[in-house]
Amino acid sequence: MGTRSQGKGQYAYSLYAYNANVVDEQIHLVVRKPLSAIEAEIRRRFSLEGPLSDVALEKDALVLTFEGPTHVSGQVSAKRTSQPATNPETVVVRKRRKHRVRNRMKTRGWNVVAKFANSRGQSCTVYRPFYDALVSGKLKRREAYAKIRDILVSNGNKPKPSSVEYFLNNTLEYIERDTARAAPSPSRGSRAGAETSTGGS
């Protein structure tokens, strides 16, 4: 866009040239309203006292979820309106809990050695491939981990480290208990014979 002046005296005039290629200007209005102010307004309107448990944006609506009874009053008492708005720093917005996908392992075709409750109180199953691989006690921790993982993969699994640790720890714990139970304990007769021989000497 430009201007050009022509003429003299009272007949002077100006010509304006407009460039059509210039992109039209756009003005955007941005309004930011604190979440605490929205929460306080809703609390006053519906007389809510429960804590704010969730905030979500669903299509074109802002959804605020409060804990407490489902019935609320539409009237606001003078006492509640006189209360100050909630401090923005104390508002806690909780994220929605994601659905946890369990990493189940395929154990089809494996014989079960035993079922027991581990030291954490969990009901566990000890499978024959894991038991046979670890019962000798000759493998180091890293070697035992790799062995358990290979067994899981060979049966069509894609194990996470937590799954490998789960089967490894439970199998080792069962073997340790089984070994302690199988260890011979001195009989009463042998102890008595030892005491007699000692006394005779």
Mean pLDDT, residues 155-175 taken together: 93
Expressed as residue numbers, the domain containing 121 is: 112-182
CA atoms within 13 A on the CB side of 163: 15
Non-local (6+) Cβ contacts of 119 within 8 A are 173
Domain assignment present for residue 27? The answer is: no
Domain assignment present for residue 53? The answer is: yes
The pTM of this model reads 0.44
Whether 119 and 149 share a structural domain:
yes
Domain assignment present for residue 138? The answer is: yes
Whether 132 and 76 share a structural domain:
no
Condensed to tens digits (0 to 9), the pLDDT of residues 44-80 reads 888 888 887 778 777 788 888 877 665 554 444 444 4
Whether 116 and 153 share a structural domain:
yes
Total domains, the chain: 2
Domain assignment present for residue 196? The answer is: no
Report d(CA 170, CA 5) in Å as an integer: 94
Higher local confidence (pLDDT), 19 or 196: 19
